Structure 1
Amino acid sequence: MTDVADSLGVSPITVSRALREPAKVSETLRERVLARVDEMGYVPDLAARALASRHSGVIGVLAPALTSHAHLGIMRGIEERVRTSDLRIQYASSRYDPEEECRQIRLFLSQHPTGILLSGLQERDGIMELLQRAPCPVVQIVDLHLTQSGMTVGINHCDAATAAVRHLLACGYRRIGLIGGTRDVRSERRQEGYCLAMREAGLADLSLVASEDAPTSVQLGCQLLQRLRSQAPDLDCVFCQNDDLALGALFEAQRLGLAVPDLGICGYNDLGFARYSHPAITTVRVPRFEMGYRAIDLLIRVVNGERPPTAPIDLGFEVVERGTTRRISG
């Protein structure tokens, strides 16, 4: 920084602010500093930064599965927010394994991260103790009831699933089944919401539930609809915990010659293909991009000295009615 500062006739602290706190300098000055850094062939020394500032400039992001369609939307929000900062993201996957979650969090903490973002963390005593002792801010995303780390950004998945099933009931469906995959926090909360709505309607029936502790996929959606119809031949609708399951259920219904929306299908997440399938899939829209963006923005603000929020940040959800369910009359 001293070399760059001397070449530009500014102080080293000015160069430091241009690189680490761009909001504190003019855009023209920041561009001059970045251009000179490039000309001189310098790259950030993260080890030196960690010694000088007590953190590495890296935000650790831990997710159950980095390749899931739903998480990709969250990642786009994360990348968009961090793009305008000098921080960098380090991703890791827990593969839905609580022991792996604990190991990855320990690895993050050993690298003096600027912050940690956790997606759908499993609630275990060992993990909670680690987070409570973490020397950096920690944000949990996806479900609002996950507040052990102190800061949470997301939606209430139980409420969202309840709203979706109530919508299906309002459409006139009565034998509404549940199709589910990996039994993580999100799926458990969605099943909880499904059960709540069905109990309220006096229609709860265990034969209407088909789930497999496996990653959700189109293939699994096909298989689970087959299983559900064998368990409950009078099935007239399925609520699917993810859109890929819903697409599989739709393909299987079409293969069997079942008319949709006479057999109703509702997904969850509003992935890109949901609106372009035929018929388009009724689903629950989750603001995944905003979730990732807001979570990283919150971390950056807290690192820069702002007070953390005293309550979870609720981004809300929307039940999106499309062609795989009946229209509500009136």
Structure 2
Amino acid sequence: MENGNITSGFILLGLLNHTRAHQVLFVMILTIVFTSLVGNALMILLIHQDHRLHTPMYFLLSQLSIMDMMLVSTTMPKMAVDYLTGQKSISTAGCGLQIFVFLTLGGGECFLLAAMSYDRYVAVCHPLRYPILMSWQLCLRMTLGSWLLGAADGLMQAVATLTFPFCSGREIDHFFCEAPELLQLVCGDTSVFEYFMYICCVLMLLIPFSLILTSYSLILTAVLRMHSTEARKKAFATCSSHLAVVGLLYGAAIFIYMRPKSYRSANHDKVVSAFYTIFTPVLNPLIYSLRNSEVKGALRKCIVRCAL
């Protein structure tokens, strides 16, 4: 056992190697990341500029876009620099900061998606009472709560993970610092921390996911009572796309954080982590926002204004 090595940091082995196929994949990932940043930044700009989008629903969407932009910026620049330069080291402080920020944003997004599903439930099932049931005060409280709960989880896991004694091997078989991967390097018993992490995951993942499923179940029940076939088709298409993105995020997070240590595979974990760090942030603005007629109208208005 070698405790002193924690002061010298870790080595991130990365997601890709330098074969021709992986070089093409690297370019594709950078393209997706750029698209994600542009899409989410555009979403924030449109919501800020168009007064018709100054509603709780779009405020929550803007917060989701902010979280997605920060999530991509937390992991992808470091991964790209490491791949291009071959310098794969990360300091202990940098690793702890990455865990904290990543879990703050990931946990916050889980609660924020639950708040968004409640907003849609109220809008569809109780439209006349929407201003009361989804007031600005409640919206701001849910948003602040999402950020704070995510930050609390991130701080606890980052501090707890880095206080363990690490063995002489400092290589993390991953493309960013993630708490479950660091546990593979620990020389000691981590069963108490794993149990603590499991409880956190129940609170941060399973409870919000259950609330989302409940909200969309009630929405679909209301949709089935609609007389208009066109309205039913539109509502089903919207709900199914929302649930697909939610399922991708929560499914990947549950797979990474709720499996026992003995069942882990570094290659599988890297691929699954890529789904919610690379693909989910680019899907969110497409699914939640840019398919929306009000957002499309705001986009056309912005293009015309820029052209003039």
TM-score by structure 1 length? 0.24
Point out the structure with the larger strand share. 1
Q: Decide which structure has greater helix share.
A: 2
Tell me the TM-score normalized by structure 2. 0.26
Structure 1 or 2, whichever has the larger Rg, is 1
